[in-house]
A and B are shown apart, each in its own frame.
Chain A
Amino acid sequence: MGLEQLIKDCQENSIKAQEQLYRLLAPKLIAVCLKYSRSRVDAEDNLQDGFLLIFKKIGQYRFEGSFEGWAKRVMVNNVLQKYRSEGIFEIVTENMPDEAEVELEADDIPMDYLLAIIQQLPDRYRMVFNLYVIDGYSHKEIAAMLNITDGTSKSNLARARMILKEKIETRQGNTIPTAK
């Protein structure tokens, strides 16, 4: 059964199709949730709610563009919506620090650690960082999504980078080479 047929069946509320679609997309979408959420538990909650939202709105999918992309957007929006409703985006805008190219030694950093430090970021930093760096949204789009200004978005991104860098460096501890 092709993806298109699967989606159509989902649009007709076939529970079987919905399960198949879930099995297909859940691994990718939980990754999204893990990145955007504060913790694994939160991520699982968000995955569940996000999927329910996907199944609810799947009738609106017009078979334009990749379905995975659409589902991801729904998922991300769901998370944003949730945190927005919790009112946690009220972070004081800070001065934009210089654009810092962080250089570091990378390969031995395990996935879990990267996830952990992302999840530990303040909510808005995490959102901005994910949206911009990983999912490729522009600052303008992010500003619109989060209801902040471009500048805030940029500054938040920079702060997020700094925090992440510090954490990675701390972890690497003394082994950090000064330069190369």
Chain B
Amino acid sequence: MSEKKNIDRLFQEKFKDFEENPPGFIWDNIREELEEKKKRRVIPIWMRLSGVAAILVMGLLTGLYFINNDGTKSNPVVIDKNANHQQGTPLKTLPTDKTSGNDINSDKVYDRSDRPIVNGQMVVDADKESTGSNPDNASGNKKTATGSTKNGHNEPSVNASYNKNAVVYNSKNNKVNTTGKTGYASQSGNAVVNSTVKNSGVATTSNKNTGFNTTNKQNSAVANNQSGIAKNNAGVSGNNKTNINKEAEKANNAVANNTTSSGNNTLGRAQNNNKVTPDNLTQKNNAVANNPTALKNNTSGNNGNTTDGNSKNNTAVATTGTNKEGAAQNNTIMSNPVTGNVTPATVNKDVPLTETAIAAIDTVKPENELEMLLREKEAGKKEEKDKALADNAKTNKWNVKPQLAPVFYNSLSQGSPIDGQFAGNAKSYENDLSYGVGVNYAVSKRITIRSGVNTLNLNYQTQGVEFYASLNKSTANVGARTNANIVVQNQGTNNFTPNAFSENQLPAGTFNGSMLQKTGYVEVPVEMAYALLDKKFGIDIIGGVSTLFLNGNNVSVVSTQGYATNVGQAQNLNNIHFSTNVGVGFKYRFFKSFEANFEPMFKYQVNTFSRDSGNFKPYFIGLYSGISFSF
């Protein structure tokens, strides 16, 4: 069946009832966009804030839970049991005395795990008695009526074993005595270690500084870029920075001159520059971004622009004298837009034609332009926001971030994981550097799951301790680790075995100094971040948990004279423990897929010690910074 048809009618008829089902993904896309819009519109600020609050509260609660748990079992002591049973890494020696009887000396110092208070008393008693360096300190002590006999009974065996090792021991100690600090090989070794530690400490501080510097730069860059006029890249922000710097120098005089001018004036001036200078974009950025923040910034920034721009395009305003004039003129121009038309005539004398022409243009309608700029800025912002969001969502789900963090270690409470007797001692916590790689996965536009691997060293020193070398029956166990057992105790305890030392011509004394506990971990965080602000500049709130795997464990002592030696390994550290993490993340996207990050994190450690944590509640603060690459 064919018939002739007007082509119009053909199409009209054909298309009249033309329908077809669009592919399903279109609705999906639409819904996504709608929900995005809705979310943005519907979720009020208080909801976001309450979300933040919830994360913080959760973090705190978990923290508190563990704090309380720790608090309940604040029994002292550390290592003795293990040291007794096996290999030679006890912190303190002489524990085996327990087995051989209630030797006062050993009891006093080491045996706190059993009856800390009683022992403490005994320590005091013993101290008083042992001042006379009497091998048998029994005489005056009520409790040691038996103890004395036991001492007497023990002595031979102690001496016997002692003599075997005496050569090594004596020689070393003699060296210490005669040649002083350098003699002791292991000491010097330790000294080196210590000095490097200190150096690394210095390094961290410098790192800190750089960290802050970069963030400062970022901030300024952010401020500059908020106008959203163009997609900023590193180059642009770089220019901004240098501009500002140059301006800072050049503009000082000008600033002084212009500080009196009002916000409008400076704005107007900024517009002048925008038109004059070839670097319109960057300078415009400066101007626009600075305006809302502070007047002083405006004046300085804008003045900087003027000098910049002038030096490039004009000769007239280059010197400060003419600058003054220029500023004055600007003031008059802006405050009196009508008479402003007259003043450019005077400007003519100093300034080339183009400049005056531009000035004239500006003076005609400074306020309108101001509005326009504001509007542009807002529009730009919105667009950029949308774009940024869209980009983020569609493309970059994964994010890899090498990071570096100065770590500040501390404890919420007094206390000592080594021994309860050190609880009251002053502790100095060393700052260290943590580094690693972070991996983020964007679950949604706002929520990111984070993980990674970081190394972490946490060191602290217990001040005001004394230590001495000592030997006893169990020395063999220790030998593998240290040359001699080092006994560490609180200063003033004074209960090393003087009889033994004096008989063997050992230095009859203890070393005052500090005890350094070093722990190293591999940290694997699992965290969630919620984006409060997700533009070129973003702010995240971060909460989560880290698993810390112990990979370094060492206790050493350093005397005030500089002698240092290993004591051994702490026996009460868990191989795996956790921390609850809370923090804030600042990020700045300086290039399409690259972000600079700065994340101060508070990490409270839980379950660090298997037992006897001595009410030690460690935490650390890391200032994580890095550059992330998203893909």
Q: Flag B1-44 by CB within 8 Å of A: 1 or 0 each.
A: 11111111011101100111111001101110111001001000
Task: Tell me the number of A-to-B contacts counted with CB atoms below 8 Å.
Answer: 97
Partner-contacting stretch, out of A25-33, A59-67, A69-77, A90-98:
A25-33
Contact flag A165-B7 (CB < 8 Å), given A22-B27, A30-B20, A48-B29? yes
Residues of chain A within 8 A of B31, CB atoms compared: 15, 18-19
Find residues 126-180 in chain A having any chain B CB closer than 8 Å to their own CB.
129, 133-134, 161, 164-165, 168, 177, 180
Q: Flag A78-118 by CB within 8 Å of B: 1 or 0 each.
A: 00000000000000000000000111111111010010001
Q: Is the interface of B mostly helix, strand, loop or mixed?
A: helix
Residue of B1, B27, B38 with most partner-chain A CB within 10 A: B27
Interface size class for chain A? 35 or more
A114 to B10, CA, bound (A): 10
A103 to B10, CA, bound (A): 10
Decide if A107 touches B3 in the complex (CB within 8 Å).
yes
Residues of chain B within 8 A of A28, CB atoms compared: 19
Contact flag A134-B7 (CB < 8 Å), given A19-B27, A55-B34, A107-B2? no
Contact flag A133-B19 (CB < 8 Å), given A52-B34, A105-B4, A107-B2? no
A82 to B365, CA, bound (A): 33
Decide if B7 touches A27 in the complex (CB within 8 Å).
no
Decide if B35 touches A104 in the complex (CB within 8 Å).
no
Instruction: For the complex formed, measure the closest distance between the CB of A175 and the CB atoms of chain B, giving whole angstroms.
Output: 9
Residues of chain B within 8 A of A26, CB atoms compared: 21-22, 26-27
Q: B29: nearest residue on chain A (CB-CB)?
A: A48
Interface size class for chain B? 20 to 34
Residues of chain B within 8 A of A44, CB atoms compared: 22-23, 26
Residues of chain B within 8 A of A118, CB atoms compared: 11
Choose among B10, B20, B30, B35 the residue that contacts A106 (Cβ–Cβ < 8 A): B10
A101 to B9, CA, bound (A): 11
Instruction: For the complex formed, measure the closest distance between the CB of A146 and the CB atoms of chain B, giving whole angstroms.
Output: 19
Decide if B6 touches A47 in the complex (CB within 8 Å).
no
Contact flag A103-B19 (CB < 8 Å), given A44-B26, A47-B26, A133-B12? no
Residues of chain B within 8 A of A168, CB atoms compared: 7
Residue of B3, B8, B15, B23 with most partner-chain A CB within 10 A: B15
Q: A108: nearest residue on chain B (CB-CB)?
A: B2
Decide if A27 touches B20 in the complex (CB within 8 Å).
yes
A26 to B2, CA, bound (A): 33
A35 CB-CB contact with B under 8 Å: yes
A-B contacts, 30 listed (Cβ < 8 Å): A13-B38, A15-B38, A22-B30, A23-B27, A26-B22, A26-B27, A27-B19, A31-B15, A31-B18, A31-B19, A31-B20, A44-B22, A47-B26, A51-B26, A51-B30, A52-B33, A55-B34, A102-B6, A104-B7, A105-B2, A105-B5, A106-B2, A106-B4, A111-B14, A111-B18, A118-B11, A129-B11, A134-B15, A161-B8, A168-B7
- Sorted nearest first, the 8 A-B pairs with minimum C-beta distance are A27-B19, A102-B7, A106-B5, A30-B22, A105-B2, A103-B4, A31-B18, A133-B8
Contacts A22-B30, A26-B27, A133-B12 known; list 9 others, CB within 8 Å: A15-B38, A30-B22, A44-B23, A48-B29, A103-B5, A105-B3, A106-B5, A107-B1, A164-B7
